[in-house]
Amino acid sequence: MATPLVPLKVGSRSFPHPFLPTCRADLEARGWDALDIVIVSGDAYVDHPAFGPVLIARFLEGRGFRVGILPQPDWRSAEPFKALGKPRLFYGVAAGNLDSMLNRLTAQKKNRSEDQYSPGGRTNCRPDRASVVYAQRCREAYPDVPIILGGIEASLRRIAHYDYWSDKVRRSVLVDSKADLLIFGMGERPVWEVADRLRKGEPLSSIRDVRGTAFMVPGAELAKLEADPARRAADDKVVVLPSYEEAAKDKVAFARMSRDFQMETNPGNGRPLVQRHGDRGVFFNRPAQPLEDGAGGAQGSVAMDELYDLPFNRVPHPVYRERIPAYDTVKHSVVLMRGCFGGCTFCSITEHEGRVIQSRSSESVLREIRELRRLGDFRGTVTDLGGPTANMYKMKCRSPEIEQKCRKLSCVHPGVCENLVTDHGPLIDLMREVREEPGVKHVFIASGVRYDLAERSPEYVQELAKHHVGGQLSVAPEHVSPRVLEKMKKPGIESYERFQHMFACASEDAGKEQYEIPYFISGHPGSTLEDMVELALWLKKNGKRPRQVQDFIPTPMSMAACMYYSGIDPLKMEPVYVATGLREKRLQKALLLYWNPEHWPLAREALRQAGRADLIGRGPDCLVPPESAAERARSHSAGPRPSPRGERRR
């Protein structure tokens, strides 16, 4: 008989909830001989709902499963994967909160100096392509235990995809990992259904109808599916994507694959997909239904409130002696919702979390605020009240029937959809409730504000400026060129300028000196050096000196990654300019940082290439000064720049 679970105490520290087992001693302390499920994670174990693999583990534990976690196991042998013994049901494998390649390498393909999800920020705590490597080690550890992939890396690499870091099209991660099943999107619904059916004795090989899952099909079955390809109509036929082999050798086929995939992402009307890889295929069930708002209601449902009512200690496991940087960012923040209907082409949030906003109830949020107050280092400041976007809380389509049938990829581009309810009232009410909670002194909004929505609610902007900005507010106009913004699926710069004026007036009314901090992207598909000059001139005219500039990274499966690789806009199937050479990417970024002397040499080179040498000088309209004698001396001593290798332009 298992011993009762008791609060854990380590030295002078005590914790309200037992941590998930991480070693055999933890199992023995509970009187368990084995676990049902072992979750393998590429992140350190932080017992907090912001860490995806931990959230899934706690969710399954809350549904009655015995679950353990192996955080950042040594992948050089299979032995560390046996640390918790043989799981009865399956290994769940996740690379962590970030794609492992994005986690290690920058846009310039250089090693990052810090891993936000590892103790002490140390690098090399997880392998490249962690989903594949971890799955292989699990198979070596216990060959007969099913392996289920999940998490953002597996989700965004589920079809044939362009991999920026190897500069080639790669196969579905399900093929390379040889896992038994892949769960894509936010995985609570599908992982619970699969786990429950396994617990009841159903073999994994027969579980082929769970929404939000993908599995391999043999050649004979694949041939039958390919013989009856779907038509573009509201039916349940399987959509046959261009094969991996076609997508890898033909960029038009790759763009068509990306477009066809995007058109089937609405859970209300998305159809199953299949894609050939050699003599087998990967079959994708329809996307999982979003979670219910608030506490839900239907028996057997999965609701947002349930996830955040799970027993988290909200701290790293006591085995760690060093800080975990990502935890410092989120420990006093509160997530209000998930999903994003923005449809920005450079962002993969929509492909993973979906377009339907799923919101928590105000009661759930306030319960979490009270949990924060019990933390020893909480001093009354909630660092963020938001989510993927700060101001989409409880926004939805005015008609469920229209939402079920809609195939638009964005609710806000090229303009805000007339069927989208943009009422900020529920969010304003919640912000006020949180501020009034005993023990709360400050509530800040650190998530990015969607300004084209915010400008529709002067009351929200007033509330934001008066109570929720600590001097600086994050917004992301990304660019000023209409043709680049169209490729990004972002609103025109006029919308940002209107919001900027509203926020400035609201801050003045509140008697505060505070500013919005705009974020911009360089090197995005569609952006030329001429476009970046236009952006730099706009920045100078408006007195902006951005310090946080994103050099575009083609993340797997995003539409912008498709444009970057293929040179084709997949939605219009028309050519698009792409700067793929690392040198030109540096030139575009230098124009954003024209005010910084460190970037003047590259900015001058960019201006000359753009035919705008007239902007090099000391006049009021110039962007950068002429080269100084000291700079010329340094340049001559350094010698000529080596010829770029492997750089190309489309």
Greatest extent of the chain over all pairs of C-alpha atoms, in Å: 83
| CA dihedral (107, 109, 110, 114) positive or negative | positive
**C-alpha span between 187 and 212 (Å, rounded):** 7
> Looking at residues 127-134, what average pLDDT do you find?
98
Give me 372's structure tokens: 């924060």
* Res. 230: pLDDT tops 60: no
Determine the pLDDT at residue 6: 39
- Range of weakest confidence among 290-294, 297-301, 333-337, 397-401: 297-301
Tokens 């990304």 sit at which residue?
478
* Res. 429: pLDDT tops 50: yes
Give me 482's structure tokens: 């209409």
Q: Map 564-621 to HEC letters.
A: HHHCEECCCCEECCCECCHHHHHHHHHHHCCCCHHHHHHHHHHHHHCCCHHHECCCCC
Whether the CB-CB separation of 420 and 411 falls below 8 Å is answered with yes
**C-alpha span between 135 and 132 (Å, rounded):** 5
Determine the pLDDT at residue 298: 66
**C-alpha span between 505 and 261 (Å, rounded):** 44
* Res. 3: pLDDT tops 50: no
Whether the CB-CB separation of 304 and 360 falls below 8 Å is answered with yes
- Residue pLDDT, tens place only, 452-468: 999 999 999 999 999 99
| CA dihedral (463, 465, 469, 473) positive or negative | positive
Q: DSSP per residue over 309-324, as a string? A: TS----EE-TT--S--
- Range of weakest confidence among 67-76, 316-325, 348-357, 580-589: 348-357
Whether the CB-CB separation of 118 and 324 falls below 8 Å is answered with yes
Of 599, 355, 326, 349, give the one whose Cα is nearest residue 476: 349
Determine the pLDDT at residue 517: 87
Q: Is-above-0.75 flag for pTM?
A: yes
**C-alpha span between 607 and 601 (Å, rounded):** 10
Give me 136's structure tokens: 């292989």
Determine the pLDDT at residue 299: 62
Determine the pLDDT at residue 10: 45
Whether the CB-CB separation of 7 and 18 falls below 8 Å is answered with yes
* Res. 641: pLDDT tops 80: no
More confident residue, 1 or 422: 422
- Residue pLDDT, tens place only, 491-547: 999 999 999 999 999 999 999 999 888 999 999 999 999 999 999 999 999 998 887
Whether the CB-CB separation of 125 and 182 falls below 8 Å is answered with no
- Residue pLDDT, tens place only, 248-262: 999 999 999 999 999
- Residue pLDDT, tens place only, 605-637: 999 999 999 999 999 999 999 988 777 777 666
Whether the CB-CB separation of 104 and 548 falls below 8 Å is answered with no
Determine the pLDDT at residue 4: 36
* Res. 5: pLDDT tops 50: no
Determine the pLDDT at residue 639: 60
Give me 380's structure tokens: 């009354």
| Matching CATH number, 18-210, of 3.40.50.280, 3.40.50.20, 3.40.50.970, 3.20.20.100 | 3.40.50.280
- Residue pLDDT, tens place only, 32-58: 999 999 999 999 999 999 999 999 999
- For the chain, percent of residues with pLDDT exceeding 70: 94
Calculate the average pLDDT of the chain. 92
**Contact partners, residue 417, CB within 8 Å, separation at least 6:** 397, 408, 411
- Residue pLDDT, tens place only, 338-395: 999 999 999 988 888 999 999 999 999 999 999 998 888 899 999 999 999 999 999 9
Centre a 10 Å sphere on the Cβ of residue 650 and count the other Cβ atoms it contains.
Answer: 17
- Residue pLDDT, tens place only, 146-175: 999 999 999 999 999 999 999 999 999 999
Q: Where are the domains of the chain?
A: 18-210, 213-287
Whether the CB-CB separation of 216 and 282 falls below 8 Å is answered with yes
**C-alpha span between 134 and 153 (Å, rounded):** 12
Peptide bond just before 546 cis, omega within 30 deg: no
| b (16+ CB within 10 A) / e for 370-394 | ebbeeeeebeeebbbbbbbbbbbbb
- Range of weakest confidence among 10-19, 90-99, 435-444: 10-19
Angle at 555 between CA 553 and CA 560, to 5 degrees: 80
